[in-house]
Amino acid sequence: MQPARIYYETDVLNYELGKELYQKYQSIEWIEIDSHNNIEELRAKENKEFVSMKKLFILGVRKTHKYTENHKVSDYLVPYTSSGCSAMCLYCYLVCNYNKCSYLRLFVNREQMLDRLVRFSNKSERALTFEIGSNSDLILENTLTGNLVWTIENFIRDGKGNLTFPTKFSMVDPLLSLDHKKRVVFRMSLNPTYMIQNIELGTASLWSRIEAVNKMVDAQYKVGILLAPIILVDNWKVLYSQLLDILNDLLSKKMKDQMFFEIIFMTYSFVHRKINNDAFPEAIELYNKEYMTGRGMGKYCYKSELRREGEAFLQEEIEKRFGKNKILYFS
C-alpha cells in the first residue's frame, strides 16, 4: 500500500522508525505539521473527500499512554503504535470517534510505548492480557512498519502476560515463525462475503481470512473468531447460517477444537450516516429505523427484542455446528 501523501510532525525524524519510513517513502510528498491531532487543512475537507483522505499517512509521536481497564478478552486496552486504518468499513467506530480523521496515523515512538507496556506487565502479580489493536488494524499496519513482529518479539522476551489484537486482514506470514510462546491471542473478525464486499470496503476476503486463521493455529497461536459486527440486513439469518457453514467446512479441526467466538452487534450513528451518504452514495444504507433505536444526531443500536432474537439464533446455530460453550460473550 502506497500512501498518496505523508503528513509528519518534525520530531518524527528523530526516531528510528521515522527515519526508516522517510527512506522507504522518499518518492512521496512529505508535508510538515505541528500536531497529528489537528491538521487544519484536513479538517476543512468535505465528507465526499473521505476516500482520498484514507490514502494519507499521518506520522506523529504518541503522547497519550493511558491504559483503560477492559473485561472481555483482555485486562487492559493499550493505546499503541497506530490509530485509524486505510480500509473503509462503513460502520467503523473510529470514524465515529474521530469523524473524518479516521485515516491511518502511525506513531513512531514505539520503543517508549513498548517499554511502558513491559514495565506495567512486569509489575503485576498475575499475567495480564493487553489489547494492543483496539484503535487500528495491526496486521495491516505491520505491512508498512513491521511493528507487530517487532512488538511480539520484544514483549514476549521482556514482558509478562499476553498480547491480543483483532484484524480483518490476512497478511500473517511474517508472524508464523515468531517465538510467541503461546502468549499472543490472534482474533479474526469475520462477516458474510456480502457484507465484506459491500460494507467492509478495502478489507481482506472471507477466504483469505479463513486461510490466515488456519495458518495461525498451525503456528501454535491461540486464535478466536470475532463475529463482528453482526449486521441485521433483511436476509441476515440466511447470510450468517451460510457463514457458519463455510467456517464449519473450512476451518481446520485444530482450530475448531480450540476456538471461541466473540459476538458484537453493530452500532451506528448520525456521523457515520452523514459521511457514508456523502462519500459512498451508492452504498447500502445501514440505518434501519424499523430495527434501530436512537434518532437524530446520536448513536443507533438494534432494538432489544431484535438483539435477543439475533443472540438466540446465533447461539443455536453455533451450538449445532461447533458444540456448547464456544461463545465468550455477546455485546
Task: State which of positions 256-275 bind ligand SF4 (CB under 6 A).
Answer: none
3-state secondary structure of 255: helix
Residue 87 in the binding site for ligand SF4 (CB under 6 A): yes
> Minimum Å distance from CB 92 to ligand SF4?
3
| Closest CA relative to residue 182, chosen from 197, 196, 162 | 162
Residue 203 in the binding site for ligand SF4 (CB under 6 A): yes
Residue 92 in the binding site for ligand SF4 (CB under 6 A): yes
Cα gap 194→117, rounded to integer Å: 39
> Minimum Å distance from CB 122 to ligand SF4?
30
Contact 124, 161 (CB under 8 A): yes
Q: Rank residues 105 and 110 by Cβ distance to ligand SF4 and give the closer one.
A: 105
> Minimum Å distance from CB 27 to ligand SF4?
25
> Minimum Å distance from CB 107 to ligand SF4?
15
Q: Is the omega angle on the peptide bond into residue 174 within 30 degrees of 0, that is, cis? A: no
Residue 138 in the binding site for ligand SF4 (CB under 6 A): no
| The Cα angle at residue 82 between residues 184 and 201, in degrees rounded to 5 | 90
Residue 53 in the binding site for ligand SF4 (CB under 6 A): no
Q: How many residues bind ligand SF4 (CB under 6 A)?
A: 10
> Minimum Å distance from CB 87 to ligand SF4?
4
Q: Provide the mask over 108-137, with x wherever binding to ligand SF4 is found by CB under 6 A and - wherever it is not.
A: ----------------------------xx
> Minimum Å distance from CB 85 to ligand SF4?
3
Q: Which of 33, 89, 275, 318 binds ligand SF4 (CB under 6 A)?
A: 89
> Minimum Å distance from CB 28 to ligand SF4?
21
Torsion of CA 70, 97, 104, 115, to 10 degrees: -30
Beta bridge partners of 299: 269
Cα gap 106→18, rounded to integer Å: 9
> Minimum Å distance from CB 276 to ligand SF4?
12
Span interacting with ligand SF4, options 1-9, 42-50, 81-89, 180-188, rule CB under 6 A: 81-89
Span interacting with ligand SF4, options 89-97, 171-179, 288-296, 304-312, rule CB under 6 A: 89-97
Helix ranges, 159-264 (H)? 193-198, 206-218, 236-250, 253-258
Contact 67, 76 (CB under 8 A): yes
Contact 80, 133 (CB under 8 A): yes
Q: Rank residues 121 and 135 by Cβ distance to ligand SF4 and give the closer one.
A: 135
| Closest CA relative to residue 33, chosen from 63, 61, 52 | 61
Task: State which of positions 156-195 bind ligand SF4 (CB under 6 A).
Answer: 168
Phi-psi region of 161 (alpha: psi -120 to 50; beta: other; left: phi over 0): left
Interface residues with ligand SF4 (CB under 6 A) are: 85, 87-89, 92, 94, 136-137, 168, 203
